[in-house]
Amino acid sequence: MLIDSLEKKQLWEKALAEIELSVSRPNFLTWFQNTNISDCGRDIITLNVPNAFAKDWLSGKYHKIIIKALRALFPAIRNVEYVIVSQPPVSATTSIKYKPAMKISSGEPQLEFEEIYIDKKANLNPRYTFDNFIVGSFNELANAAALAVTKNPGSSYNPLFIYGGTGLGKTHLLQSIGNRILQENPKAKVQYLTSEKFANEYISSVQSGTAPFFKEKYREHDLLIIDDIQFFSGKNKTQEEFFHLFNALYEANKQIVFSSDRSPKAIPELEDRLRSRFEGGMIADISPPEYEARMAILKAKTSQKDIILADEIIDYIAKNIQSNIRELEGALQSIIAQSKLLNKNLNPQEIKELLQKNIKTRKKITIIHLIKTVANYYNISEKDIFEQTRKKQIVVPRQIAMYLLREDFNTSYPYIGEKFGGKDHTTVIHAYEKISNDIKSNEKIRDDIRQIREIIYEKET
């Protein structure tokens, strides 16, 4: 099968179009960019990949998908070989490169700050868009629901309630909804605010005698977005006022969107009638991103910031910062700032030393510490977790402990089995796979794991 370079390019482009249908967007951008066909034998295709990470992932996880896509175009293809071809402009010794900032006459490097213009009327940051929101299995339901709202506001999912831990992109997604609706309908009346701001405005209106104006102000919006709704907890008067506002907007087919750090049923001191309103629409959660998603996020962020990080460093950050996206961005920002201030490219060791202050290293968290956290969360003893029993109230915490040891700390299956009373490694694999599947379908399991992780990582700060 002898074909020229143009045909090779066209062949791979057609194959990529097919592959993209089977792979999530962040994974597609992470692992398939900078790949190309270098050689086509009689039944073997040689695929150039940019680095060892890409080779491992493509040959391991995506090989069958690649073969299927290529065979649809050339049935004679029997196999694909993956060859690492270094991609310029990354050098062998450089870990980070950036476009130099404009310098003042003294020659000192200057940090660049992008100007941000907030829409004062809607209170929206234009930087928050769906285009730069990175989607993975950890947030795809929330993203899909948010997009559906923009296509049919007031009817598709009303209200839309998005919840998840701190720094996972809830605010980004909420503001993306507002920006998209204004983009498609500039005359739409959109308002984004936090629950704290709403409560403070309400109290001020009561004290100043302008409550009627306050009521009218929020009833005129086509889209009302309230961030961090959990702060309504215990504020009875504010809850009562918001209940009436909610009803007025809902009955007028106006779209309402909320975010919270927990599901509606988990918000304490919330009136039942308001809780039922929150639960009456679409509820979508955002969980901490898995390793593959963290890699995709870091690659996307470095691309947005116009810098190049060595794969070794991206892998190091992804493996060590697991709790939320905000901390991933914070680590990148630290690297960029240090590099610009020193006016030099940082090597891997310098970057690791810099990040030690930010990274909650897994080495500090012992197996006993994790098991104690899980046991305390489920109100059982540490001894119970190791007990040879099939009682559900013990089995589930035990499986979650095994899952976290494997997922978050990459502990080997045999080692986990040994620590759990000499269990066979297949038992640990079963526990890991069961919890992995439960996370996708069981809201309580997702909530439990999210809160356990928050407890573990908070104790490390």
**CATH number, domain with residue 315:** 1.10.8.60
- State the pLDDT at residue 277: 92
CB 335 within 8 A of CB 346: yes
Which among 286, 312, 336 is the end of a domain? 286
The tokens describing 340, both together, are 């610009």
Alpha-carbon gap, residue 159 to 203, rounded angstroms: 25
- State the pLDDT at residue 387: 80
The tokens describing 16, both together, are 């990529």
Residues 275 and 304 in one domain: no
Domain-located, residue 373: yes
- State the pLDDT at residue 221: 92
Residues 224 and 193 in one domain: yes
Binding-site residues? 167, 169-171
Which residue type occupies 440?
K
Alpha-carbon gap, residue 185 to 178, rounded angstroms: 10
Alpha-carbon gap, residue 420 to 130, rounded angstroms: 44
Residues 378 and 272 in one domain: no
Domain-located, residue 112: no
Residues 325 and 454 in one domain: no
Radius of gyration of the chain (CA): 25
Residues 191 and 260 in one domain: yes
Q: What is the pLDDT along the chain (461 residues), one digit of tens a residue?
A: 445 556 788 888 888 888 887 776 667 777 787 888 888 877 889 999 887 767 878 888 888 889 988 888 878 888 899 998 854 433 333 344 444 333 223 333 333 434 444 455 788 888 889 988 888 878 888 999 999 999 989 887 889 999 988 888 899 999 999 999 999 998 999 999 999 989 999 999 899 888 888 888 889 899 999 999 998 988 999 999 999 999 999 999 999 999 998 888 888 889 999 999 999 889 988 888 888 888 888 888 887 777 777 788 888 888 877 777 888 888 888 887 777 777 777 787 888 887 776 565 444 567 788 889 999 999 998 888 888 778 888 899 999 999 988 877 767 888 888 888 778 888 888 999 899 888 877 878 888 888 888 787 664 44
Give buried/exposed letters for 381-399 (b at 16+ CB in 10 A, else e). Answer: eeebbbeeeeeeebebbbb
DSSP state of 229: G
- State the pLDDT at residue 5: 59
Residue 78: CATH number of its domain: 3.30.300.180
Binding-site residues for ATP? 167, 169-171
One DSSP character per residue, 323-380 reads S-HHHHHHHHHHHHHHHHHHTSPPPHHHHHHHHTTT---GGGS-HHHHHHHHHHHTT-
**Cα separation values, 377 from 163, 329, 389, Å:** 20, 29, 19
pTM surpassing 0.85?
no
Q: 3-class DSSP state for residue 165?
A: coil
Q: 3-class DSSP state for residue 452?
A: helix
Residue 276: CATH number of its domain: 3.40.50.300
What is the domain extent for residue 9? 5-84
Residues 281 and 330 in one domain: no
β-bridge mates for residue 82, sequence order: 47
Residues 316 and 190 in one domain: no
CB 370 within 8 A of CB 401: yes
Phi, psi of 381 (to 5 degrees): -90, 160
Q: Which residue has the tokens 């907890």?
A: 233
Closest to 188 in 3D by CA, of 245, 124, 259: 124
What angle (nearest 5°) sits at the alpha carbon of residue 165, between those of residues 153 and 305?
80
Domain-located, residue 198: yes
**Cα separation values, 453 from 252, 286, 306, 326, 408, Å:** 40, 14, 32, 15, 9
Residues 261 and 308 in one domain: no
Domain count, the chain: 4
